[in-house]
Chain A
Amino acid sequence: MSHHIVVPRRTVLAGLGGTALASSLPLGIARAASDAVVGFIYVGPRDDFGYNQSHAEGAAALKKMEGVKVVEEERIPETVQVEQTMESMINLDGAGLLFPTSFGYFDPYILKEATKYPKVRFEHAGGLWTDKDPKNIGSYFGYIFEAQYINGIVAGYASKSGKLGFVAAKPIPQVLQNINAFTLGAKLVNPKATTQLIFTGDWSLPVKEAEATNSMVDQGIDVITMHVDSPKVVVQTAAQRGAMICGYHCSQAKLAPEAYLTGAEWNWTGLYPKFVSMWMKGESIPNFYRGAFKEGLIKQSPYGPKVSDEARKRADDVKAKLTAADYVIFKGPLQDNTGKTVVAAGSELIQTNATDEQLESMHFLVDGVMGSLPA
């Protein structure tokens, strides 16, 4: 090789300029040391009118607290990326309390990071913590199907056809609890009510969600609810087609002010400031925290204009009983939609009993649900 590579002068100058620029940039990280840093990690966009927004609203409530600095990252998949994000928040932002909010972040990512950073507190939405797991993890969750039961009562009154629709992601226990509670609520006020169920197959499939909603309205269904990550598409599609809606995760009333009846919402705005002030005072946050209306983990959207006085009264009445922990939703005798008895006469599945095997691993659809489960 006798020749040498000749680089254009301009490129060299540009390169030198770039290096000079890079070296003049201060690489230190400036941050007020006094602020307690709390990190939030979301699996989807934080303005999704759904699961992620419900948590982001909780984070927004923290931003108003004195001495708290909130850092957020959205659209982090349940892969090694969430591990990297947690570490980055700990190492680069000095976060001492993390809220990785997606259910699938827990195993193995949070477990691994909690072992690695024993001084950092991890708070996970999902209620998965057991005695074997690191003590610096807390896992909390709400029995939101209580609010879906109220949705069902309101829907049962509002529906003229008695045909309701439920757009669901996957046939997992949490989703089935919601479908069944919604149906039982509707049947409480209209024993002939049925719920047409459609599974889309995944948490966020907007096209399928719209198709499901449209096909429901075509069948004469006039109230639709859902359990998908972002209810936005279902709400907007249903409202456009003239159907009414019961929301989920957070309030979608803004998207359809007329057609929105009510909704089952998480109450993270109530819970997170409580947790954070406990943490700042050095008090211990429970490792395992579950509840529903009574514990303030869930709430009901304000009723929309189409909810009758009778419906309001009945719904408020049941909600008061649920809040007083004086009401059981899954009560025997209860049959599934194939005629099999799933809860025997005289027995009850107490909704806030986290050790209730049949509730936690629910795999049936109550009578009145039109749909089926994989074997």
Chain B
Amino acid sequence: MADNIATDLSAAGPGAVGARVPRRGARTGPVAEAVLIPLGALVVSLLLFGAFVATARVNPLDVYRYMVIGSAGSWFSFQNTLTRASPLILTALCTALPAQTGLMIIGGEGAFVIGGLAAIAAGLPVAGAPPVVVQLVMACVGMGAGAAWIAMAGALRHWRGVNETISTLLLTYIGIALLNHMVEGVMRDPASLNKPSSYALPDADMISLIPGTEVHWGLVYGIAFCVVAYILMFHTTFGFAARMVGGNPRAARLAGLPVGRIILAVTALGGAAAGLAGMVEVAAVQGRASATLAAGYGYTGILVAFIARQNPLAVIPVALLFGGIGASGGLLQRRLDLPDASVLVLQGIIFVVILASETLFGRFRIFRQRER
């Protein structure tokens, strides 16, 4: 019962774009509704994309076929999808978690690079210790740095009334500038002549691959983070309080909730997720910090969070979807000679159609069987 009220509150939160007014009787079959409406929207997006590529005189059926081959047509393709999805799962949480308290955070990219930078800064001095220790130190410091980064925006919002969307956007520029400053300055490996980078993490300390696959453990960290975040947000008192802040901060304050602390905690949690993604990028993929840490994972994460309707569990399949689109995008370029931007067009279409489909919630009588 408490759960249902809370759902309604969070759905009406100022942060949820396209927030719906809870309707009476919209409670039966919510899972079916929450799954089928976005799926329908996805199908519509693919049809629209098909029409778009047809204008470029490319057969839409070829496009769909290559999308399947490129993203899930073979074990190789599927692993390609998983690898690409892995950072997005974590960066999406940086937007999705604070959204539960009504905050619109778009600074995942900044927390990502700061997390990666802090992780390598902490990992290098302890390199040589058992890999587990090195990775643990790196993960803790990376998450801590990301948490502090986004919590700054939470604090500014709560105590100074600074719009968190603007502040996180600007913090991202600062974060990337700081990264460049450090890897081109004090942290620079003098041997990295034409690509300024930090010293490299020894191979032994790198995060390994999941046995039997080509996918690193970062994927598992991401999924675990999502599950924990979901339980925290939807099955604990803290989560209930957080979503109440999102629903109506004044009411929450009147009810005696520590709004400031909750905002800090949730923004820190979101930042920690992006910081962990940055740490994984350094410790599993790049091995060192350089300007290429800022590759846009943080920005794509925003898109993933919105399409997942800010639900931590839904982030996982949506990130897979985006991983798959990315994985098949290359094949579209190579086989059909479509420009790389066509993948961006598809992402844009999905984004718009899914947001538009939010207005359909509660409109289908079929999902409200019980009231009849």
Contact = CB atoms under 8 A, between A and B. Distances in A.
Contact of A172 (B31, B196, B369): B196
Contacts of B296: 77
Given A73-B333, A87-B80, A45 B340 contact: yes
Interface stretch (B62-70, B122-130, B154-162): B62-70
Contact of A18 (B43, B291, B366): B43
B264 interface: no
Interface stretch (A4-12, A298-306, A342-350): A4-12
B331 interface: yes
A22 B68 contact: yes
A174 B154 CA distance: 42
Given A22-B68, A72-B333, A77 B295 contact: yes
Q: How large, as a class, is the contact surface on chain B? A: 35 or more
Interface residues of A, number: 49
B184 interface: yes
Nearest to B329: A73
Contacts of A360: 193
A291 B242 CA distance: 63
Interface string B274-296: 00000001000111001110011
A25 B68 contact: yes
A14 B43 contact: yes
B366 A79 contact: no
A81 interface: yes
Interface of A: 3, 5-8, 11, 14, 18, 21-22, 25-27, 29, 39, 45, 71-81, 84-85, 87-89, 91-93, 103-104, 108, 126, 170-174, 201-202, 360-361, 374
8 A-B pairs with least C-beta separation = A71-B334, A5-B32, A78-B292, A77-B295, A75-B340, A25-B65, A80-B285, A8-B366
Interface of B: 28-29, 31-32, 36, 40, 43, 61, 64-65, 68-70, 73-74, 76-77, 80, 83-84, 180, 184-185, 193-196, 281, 285-287, 290-292, 295-296, 326-327, 330-331, 333-335, 339-340, 364, 366-367, 369-370
24 contacts: A3-B28, A3-B29, A6-B367, A7-B36, A7-B366, A14-B43, A22-B68, A25-B61, A45-B339, A71-B334, A73-B330, A74-B333, A77-B292, A78-B295, A79-B295, A80-B285, A81-B84, A81-B326, A85-B330, A89-B330, A91-B76, A126-B194, A170-B184, A361-B193
